[in-house]
A and B are shown apart, each in its own frame.
Chain A
């Protein structure tokens, strides 16, 4: 039996078509994009074409797109510069953010650079918009709101437009960690009130080591990484040429096939949830799983038994790849901070299944059968 990979929220396989597009830039077109001769100009052109393509897909201006080393760098840049360069002295975030956000806001708070408030969460894991407005209304200083678009563990999707409007009303800076949605969701940044969004190539069948930061043209920040005039003086460092070319191609493919892929993947998620409900009496799902939720993620709680405590281990023995939570924290014994924040039930074991276009219903059937033996 081949391995079944249901951990696509952690990372995805590179699309062979993306690799094909990258190959010339891994071989003959290797020039440093800052060099002025033909090798360099070819590289520069490839990067600027990638930027234009990404901007067009997100309905942004090319000058608003900055290439970075990935989602973590993008979120760090947005949050830190919002505090240091845009004068935000108050941060509103949530307890279910990715650690790239949480640890950064905690650090700024500890350093005394900004006060920090966590918005209340509703039972289904969505943020409480009334509480958000209360926090915004009571803030006496310029505020940064940093709330992720789709949660990487439970899939909940934030109403980014409503949050954007609230931020507009209270003149707050809005950063949204969109790492799980860029490449999985249509964006219209021209008509969205958001100052920063982030993306990582490897979450949508693009390469690792490359990401984007969208910075709305109405704000100006100082560079976060110093040392060269790359990325219009915003992000120093020789560009990851093949990575940028791959990011753009992956986003283009994801966008072209968005409609059919999202419908297909949603059907996998629904099928798996139905099968789970049929076969298991006492399972539950985390988050607004059948409502405002990303079609790629399904977070399942199994009742805790001696057997089910070993579920991830046993899934692995059966060549099924899933995770307990975010990969970035999966080494820690502390468990998932996201699950703890929304559902503090010690008598259950949580497994995150996350799907991609390459998965099949047959794979789900296999997984369901194996799960029956494990719980």
Chain B
């Protein structure tokens, strides 16, 4: 039996896996200790649980548990990673390279750093959403201390060539930070194979709890350090103070373990569904996939339906299908997505996009329903659209002069 509404916005947040919740529950009530309490078993049990979760998290990304710093989420991790490197390596330089399609947590942090006297280069991306490696290398200066490029994009799902990027960073002795919020748990990420120095990710994008995330900080080759952004009891090896969110950490650990064990099977199943959804929707006229399909997360597709207004499209079915036109963090604004604009899309296509994020829990029945509902809505809206009518009559819409009023 199909249950409505269908949730297809798993890049915004995912439902928690019931197995994760089950693992967390004892840590709310029975094992409630403060992990920093060293004098009694409530504290020890909490600390043991945190240590175990730290191993689970580390294992998913091929790291050493000592390289995992728990944070309140990816945004805090982005802030700590970038500001922490900027402060710690101030004597080496003040230049950071990033890209225009990064998440706001990276972009706003970089803007803040510019106000503090830092210099930031924002790389444009190619039409397929990927950065140009030659441009990256050309942007490097003697003062460059950090390259910050996201692993996979939150709106279009494209996966950056991380290994090639880190090869360039290594060649020039520059640290590499990646916001891997959308990638970790969905595709294989290995900090050593990938040559990553710092990486942020979060529980609630991989069927774990909200309010918990991690920053990976490399300890060997090279040993990386960040300046703490919150001072206090010296938790997390002095890099992040604050009483540990034990149930959150336990849930995050479990979520990482499940992703590690089930990623392959999940990916096989989900990518079939994603491909079906995409293939069927692309049968509509004037539909365009945004970003490359060659290097992309297996559960994501972002499609623009020309001459259909995105918000109108959403209204057509959002009682029954939870979807968004872009990032949740900016979805309250009616501005077109800055990510799609960066790919070179005009306002017409940028305004008519839908982001689909499937999950471990998405069923074929839900996908079939979605294909039908969206196809019907697009056709209906186009039927009512004078733009579509003109387009069908062969009028070049770019040649029309619009009257201002």
- Tell which of A37, A75, A238 touches B324, judged by Cβ atoms closer than 8 Å: A37
* Alpha-carbon separation in the docked complex, A106 to B212 (Å): 28
Chain A residues with a Cβ under 8 A of chain B = 3, 5, 7, 10-14, 16, 19, 26-28, 30-32, 34-40, 68-73, 75-76, 98-100, 103-104, 106-107, 200, 202, 207-210, 225-230, 236-243, 312-313, 315-316, 319-324, 326-331
Given A35-B331, A227-B75, A72 and B230 contact (CB-CB distance below 8 Å):
yes
* CB proximity of A64 to chain B, nearest CB, Å: 21
CB of B328 closer than 8 Å to a CB of A:
yes
* Alpha-carbon separation in the docked complex, A40 to B331 (Å): 11
The answer on a CB contact under 8 Å between A328 and B232 is yes
* Alpha-carbon separation in the docked complex, A100 to B107 (Å): 28
CB of B141 closer than 8 Å to a CB of A:
no
Give the residue name and chain of the A residue nearest to B80 (CB): A225
Give the residue name and chain of the B residue nearest to A208 (CB): B245
The answer on a CB contact under 8 Å between A34 and B331 is yes
CB of B243 closer than 8 Å to a CB of A:
yes
The answer on a CB contact under 8 Å between B72 and A72 is no
Given A227-B109, A238-B13, A327-B34, A321 and B41 contact (CB-CB distance below 8 Å):
yes
* CB proximity of A216 to chain B, nearest CB, Å: 22
* CB proximity of A104 to chain B, nearest CB, Å: 4
* Alpha-carbon separation in the docked complex, A207 to B72 (Å): 13
* Alpha-carbon separation in the docked complex, A363 to B234 (Å): 33
Given A237-B72, A238-B210, A10 and B43 contact (CB-CB distance below 8 Å):
yes
The answer on a CB contact under 8 Å between A14 and B331 is no
The answer on a CB contact under 8 Å between A316 and B210 is no
CB of B54 closer than 8 Å to a CB of A:
no
Q: Which of B192-209 contact A (CB under 8 A)?
A: 202, 204, 209
The answer on a CB contact under 8 Å between B243 and A11 is yes
The answer on a CB contact under 8 Å between B75 and A31 is no
Given A14-B29, A229-B330, A243-B210, A76 and B105 contact (CB-CB distance below 8 Å):
no
The answer on a CB contact under 8 Å between A5 and B42 is yes
Given A31-B13, A237-B73, A328-B243, A210 and B211 contact (CB-CB distance below 8 Å):
yes
CB of B188 closer than 8 Å to a CB of A:
no
The 9 A-B pairs at the shortest CB distance, nearest first, are namely A240-B211, A328-B233, A209-B245, A227-B105, A69-B72, A237-B75, A100-B232, A72-B242, A321-B40
Q: How large is the interface on B (under 10, 10 to 19, 20 to 34, 35 or more residues)?
A: 35 or more
Contacts of A3 in B (CB 8 A): 40-42
- Tell which of B16, B233, B245, B332 touches A229, judged by Cβ atoms closer than 8 Å: B332
Contacts of B30 in A (CB 8 A): 13
The answer on a CB contact under 8 Å between A39 and B247 is no
* CB proximity of B126 to chain A, nearest CB, Å: 25
Give the residue name and chain of the B residue nearest to A13 (CB): B32
Contacts of B7 in A (CB 8 A): 39
> Which secondary structure characterizes the binding site on chain B?
loop
* Alpha-carbon separation in the docked complex, A106 to B234 (Å): 14
CB of B363 closer than 8 Å to a CB of A:
no
CB of B291 closer than 8 Å to a CB of A:
no
21 CB < 8 A contacts A-B:
A3-B42, A11-B34, A27-B15, A30-B13, A31-B13, A32-B9, A35-B324, A70-B245, A76-B241, A99-B233, A104-B232, A209-B72, A210-B211, A228-B105, A237-B72, A238-B328, A240-B212, A241-B210, A327-B38, A329-B233, A331-B36
The answer on a CB contact under 8 Å between B210 and A7 is no
* CB proximity of B108 to chain A, nearest CB, Å: 4
When A and B form their complex, what is the total count of cross-chain residue pairs whose Cβ atoms lie within 8 Å?
Answer: 272
* CB proximity of A122 to chain B, nearest CB, Å: 26
Contacts of A208 in B (CB 8 A): 243-248
* Alpha-carbon separation in the docked complex, A35 to B324 (Å): 7
* CB proximity of A328 to chain B, nearest CB, Å: 3
* Alpha-carbon separation in the docked complex, A14 to B248 (Å): 13
The answer on a CB contact under 8 Å between A34 and B329 is yes
Q: Which of B227-264 contact A (CB under 8 A)?
A: 229-235, 241-248
- 1/0 per residue, CB under 8 A from A, across B316-335: the answer is 00110011100011111000
Given A14-B29, A240-B73, 4 extra CB contacts under 8 A: A11-B33, A69-B73, A75-B232, A238-B13
- Tell which of A207, A238, A331 touches B247, judged by Cβ atoms closer than 8 Å: A207
Contacts of A320 in B (CB 8 A): 40
* Alpha-carbon separation in the docked complex, A45 to B79 (Å): 27
* Alpha-carbon separation in the docked complex, A30 to B109 (Å): 27
- Tell which of B43, B71, B322 touches A39, judged by Cβ atoms closer than 8 Å: B322
The answer on a CB contact under 8 Å between B39 and A315 is yes
The answer on a CB contact under 8 Å between B103 and A227 is yes
Contacts of A28 in B (CB 8 A): 15
* Alpha-carbon separation in the docked complex, A227 to B324 (Å): 19
* Alpha-carbon separation in the docked complex, A239 to B12 (Å): 12
- Name the residue among A36, A106, A207, A226 with the largest chain B CB count within 10 angstroms: A226
CB of B278 closer than 8 Å to a CB of A:
no
Given A70-B243, A209-B211, A321-B41, A100 and B233 contact (CB-CB distance below 8 Å):
yes
The answer on a CB contact under 8 Å between B76 and A225 is yes
- Tell which of A12, A72, A106, A237 touches B32, judged by Cβ atoms closer than 8 Å: A12
Contacts of A12 in B (CB 8 A): 32
Give the residue name and chain of the B residue nearest to A330 (CB): B38
- Tell which of B37, B212, B246 touches A7, judged by Cβ atoms closer than 8 Å: B37
The answer on a CB contact under 8 Å between B324 and A321 is no
The answer on a CB contact under 8 Å between B37 and A228 is no
* CB proximity of A308 to chain B, nearest CB, Å: 14
* Alpha-carbon separation in the docked complex, A67 to B399 (Å): 51
Contacts of B112 in A (CB 8 A): 226
The answer on a CB contact under 8 Å between B332 and A36 is yes
* CB proximity of B228 to chain A, nearest CB, Å: 8
Q: Which of B25-63 contact A (CB under 8 A)?
A: 25, 28-30, 32-34, 36-43
* Alpha-carbon separation in the docked complex, A40 to B328 (Å): 9
Given A73-B230, A209-B212, A237-B73, A7 and B40 contact (CB-CB distance below 8 Å):
yes
* CB proximity of B184 to chain A, nearest CB, Å: 15
The answer on a CB contact under 8 Å between A99 and B105 is no
CB of B74 closer than 8 Å to a CB of A:
yes
* CB proximity of A92 to chain B, nearest CB, Å: 18
The answer on a CB contact under 8 Å between A226 and B28 is no
* Alpha-carbon separation in the docked complex, A282 to B270 (Å): 70
The answer on a CB contact under 8 Å between B75 and A100 is no
Contacts of B14 in A (CB 8 A): 30
CB of B78 closer than 8 Å to a CB of A:
yes
Contacts of B38 in A (CB 8 A): 327, 330-331
* Alpha-carbon separation in the docked complex, A94 to B186 (Å): 49
* Alpha-carbon separation in the docked complex, A315 to B37 (Å): 14
The answer on a CB contact under 8 Å between A323 and B230 is no
- Name the residue among B7, B233, B319 with the largest chain A CB count within 10 angstroms: B233
* CB proximity of A20 to chain B, nearest CB, Å: 11
